[in-house]
Structures are given as structure tokens and as C-alpha cells.
Structure 1
Amino acid sequence: MATRTTMPTRSQKNAPKFDPEEPRTLNRYFQDLEELFTNCGITGEAEKKKYATTYLPVSEEDSWTLLEEYKEATKTFEDFKKKVIDLYPSCSADRKFTNDDLDRLIGQAIRNPIKDLDGLSTFYREYLKITTFMRDKNRLGEAEQSRTFKRGLPEALWNRIDARLQIKYPDHNRENHYPLDDIYNAANRKSCR
């Protein structure tokens, strides 16, 4: 006879996690909860809402349990979930990354200058993730994506990258931007080493 899986306690390693400092984790939190509900046979609306608040930091638990959608028995778990998601606008798929995220990344790179190829690739991956999303949402153009990249680079590094680009693309009009991939490839090959 197969034993039924039980919901983890909040202190267990496999308990679902939501970090209010990183609101984008909310959707994953609800996905993890719903998977656990299925695996554990949790079907009651009130029980689902109770478990949804069980794994939260205390401050968030207090906020969530005061919602009408939590307290009111006629409100479903889906009603509750929708209301909770409304409390964290940045977890919306449409607001995954913003100009603030880009400014924060560049500011961090300025405060902690890139020193080696690993630092450059870490910055590039984060930069590409944010700016590609913003481009897909028509909040950033290709030229702006390329030009903004250099703001996060130390001046000496940018000068080496720019020199490499001039050698690699001698006919390039300096008034036009270099594609971001070309900038990264130039940096990745010679400029950081």
C-alpha cells in the first residue's frame, strides 16, 4: 500500500519558499504549493489558504491572513491567490524587470567594478536577462541596449573593448552603436585578460 505524501513543516528543507524581498518568487511559490496540494491530496479551499500562509515570514503571514479572501469561507483559494498576487505588482509577468532593475545592476557594477572575465560574464548574463525582457516589452531599443551596457563597465575596460571593436570593425561608423553581442565578444576575447 502506497503512503500518501504529507505537507512539509515550515522548517523542513523541502518547504515552499517565498522571499518578500524578491517578489518575483511569488509565482514559483504558488506553483510549488499547488504541486504539493496535488501530491498530498489537499483539496479544501480553507486548507489550501492555511498552507499558503504557513511557510511565510511572520510579517507576510500577518498581511495575507487579514485579507477578506483569506477569512471569507465563500472565497476560493484562486480568489485568495489572485488578491495576494495583486499585493506584489512586480511579480506580474508584464513587470518582471524594470528600468529600476537595470539601474540597480549598473549601479552595483559601478560600486564593485568588474575585475576579470568571470565578473564580466556575470554582469553580461544579468544585463542580457533584464534588457532582453525590456526589449521584448518595447521598453528599450536595440541601440539603447548596446549603449547602456558600457555604463556598467570601468572606463579602462571600455577603452580596451572599444579599441578591439575598432580593429575588428574598421569601417564601422562611430555614430552608430555596436550590437551588444559584438561588444561582449570583443570583451570576452581579449580585453579582459
Structure 2
Amino acid sequence: MAAIHPLPARNERSAPKWDSEFEEQLPTFFEEFEAVATTAGINNDDTAMKKGVLRYTDQQSMRFWRTLPTYEDATKTWTEFKDEVLVHYPGALKDAESTMEDLRKVVSEYAGSGVTNSKELLTYHRDFSIVAKSLLTNGILSGVQVASIYTEAFSETIRNRLDTRLQVKYPRNPKDKRIHLPSCAKPPTISFPMHQPQ
């Protein structure tokens, strides 16, 4: 039988953490809490679970979650409480689909600040891929469309450089079909100039 450990204090390294500004991280927060709750041996006690999770939320979330009917009703399970909480955070819904607007926001954010080095490129590629994958999987966009939108975050200089590289790599493909989903699996290799024009 596994050793039972008390729930970690809020400021301990092993404590589950969630910033209410990032709704999409709420399901992960619940998973982390359930892991420490299992270690603490309270995972089969719905009331202890509902009370225990509050110690890791901010004050406003704690006050709000206490007002929920599934919190106050001792006959309601942890799962029912958790599901009710998630309903109040649209960005946290596990199966929420990405939209074109979400993709445009990612591109606009990076186009505004500029992708000027390899680190920024990797961060942009990761953020873009998360949203684009959902749109591709659901047939909302094709690989060619995704690739075209992907390059909008780059300056004209970088776009031209990227197009030249693709022209060499795919000489027989028309310009609008040179880049597609497989070639977006990894970020493109781009030589960034030492100084970007403002």
C-alpha cells in the first residue's frame, strides 16, 4: 500500500497551481490536484476533495466556487462539482475547438512584436501549431491555407527569404503549394539578420 502524505501547502513546489487569467489551464490544474489528493488519500472523499481544491485557488475563485450548488450539496460528487466549475470558464472546456479568430490572434500577436530570432520563432511555431492542428483536424483549413497564414507573422524580408528556400526545396511546386502541413511539422530554418528594419 502506498504511503499517505498530507496535501502540500499552497506555496510548496509540489502544490497544484492555477492562475485564473489562464482558463485553458484549469483542466490541468484539476488533474494535478487529483494526483496530490490521491497521494493524500482523500480522492474517494467528495467533500474533502471539494474543500481541498480551494486551498490552491485565488481568493476570488475560492469565494465563487463555494457558492456553487454542487459545492454546498454534500450529496454531489467531486466530478459533478468539477464539471460545474468548468462550465463557468469557457476557455477551460476540454474539447473546446479552436477558431480562425484564435489563429488570427496568434499571428497578429507575433506580427505586431515581430519574430526576429530563433527563440521567438520556436515560441511562435508552438503557439501557432496548437491552434492550427485543431483547424486542420476538423477540416476547417487545408495544410496550404495554414502554411499561408503561418508566414503572415514574418516581415516581408523573412517571407521572401523563406519563399526562396522553399523554391529551391520544391522547384516543381507552384508558389502557393510549396509549403504544406508536413513541412510545418517543424519550424522553418531561417537566418535572421543582425538588425531588423523598424
**TM-score for both structures, normalised by structure 1:** 0.86
Cα distance in 2 for partners of 1:33, 1:80 equals: 14
Mean Cα displacement is larger for which, 147-156 or 13-22? 13-22
Greater CA drift, 162-171 or 178-187: 178-187
1:84, distance to aligned residue in structure 2 (A): 0.7
Query: Residue type of the partner of 1:47?
Result: A
Displacement of 1:61 in angstroms is: 1.0
Q: Which residue of 2 aligns with 1:25?
A: 25
CA contact (8 A) 1:164 1:186 kept: no
Cα drift, residue 164 of structure 1 = 2.1
Cα displacement (A) at 1:68: 0.5
Aligned to 1:11: 11
Structure 1 position 169 matched with structure 2 position 170? yes
Q: What is the root-mean-square deviation in Å for CA atoms of aligned residues?
A: 2.4
Counterpart amino acid of residue 24 in structure 1:
E
Instruction: Confirm or deny: 8 A CA contact 1:9 1:15 kept in the other structure.
Output: yes
Deviates more, 1:170-179 or 1:160-169: 170-179
What is the aligned partner in structure 2 of residue 117 from structure 1?
A: 118
Q: Which 10-residue stretch deviates more, 32-41 or 168-177?
A: 168-177
Q: 1:96 offset after TM fit, Å? A: 5.7
Which residue number corresponds to residue 86 of structure 1?
87
Q: Please, which runs of 5 or more residues in structure 1 have no aligned partner?
A: none
* d(CA) in 2 for partners of 1:45, 1:128: 37
State how 1:58-137 maps to structure 2 within 5 Å. 58-95=59-96, 97-137=98-138
| Post-superposition offset of 1:179 | 1.4
| More divergent stretch after superposition (128-137 vs 60-69) | 128-137
Greater CA deviation, 128-137 or 142-151?
128-137
- C-alpha contact (below 8 Å) 1:23/1:88 kept by paired residues: yes
Q: CA deviation at 1:119?
A: 2.3
Distance 1:165 1:58, change over 3 A: same
Distance 1:9 1:37 in 2: 12
Say how many residue pairs are matched: 191
Structure with a larger share of its residues in helix:
1
Change (3 A) 1:174 1:117: same
Per the alignment, in what secondary structure is the counterpart of residue 84 of structure 2?
helix
**Paired letter, 2:57:** L
**Displacement of 1:11 after TM fit?**
2.5
Q: Which residue number corresponds to residue 36 of structure 2?
A: 36
Q: For each residue in 1:112-145, what CA deviation from the matched residue of structure 2 results, as whole angstroms up to 9, or x when unmatched?
A: 1111233223222222222112211333222211
CA distance in 2, matches of 1:31, 1:158: 41
Matching of residues 50-61 of structure 1 within 5 Å: 50-61=51-62
Alignment-derived partner of residue 148 in structure 1: 149
Q: Which runs of no fewer than 5 residues in structure 2 stay unpaired?
A: 194-198
Q: Cα deviation per residue 1:83-106 (whole Å; 9 max; x = unaligned)? A: 011112222232164334322221
Alignment of 1:175-186 (within 5 A): 175-176=176-177, 178-182=179-183
CA change 1:53–1:105 in 2 (3 A) is: same
Q: 3-state SS of the aligned residue for 1:24? A: helix
Give the CA deviation at 1:186.
Answer: 9.3
Q: Contact 1:161/1:186 (CA < 8 Å) preserved in 2?
A: no
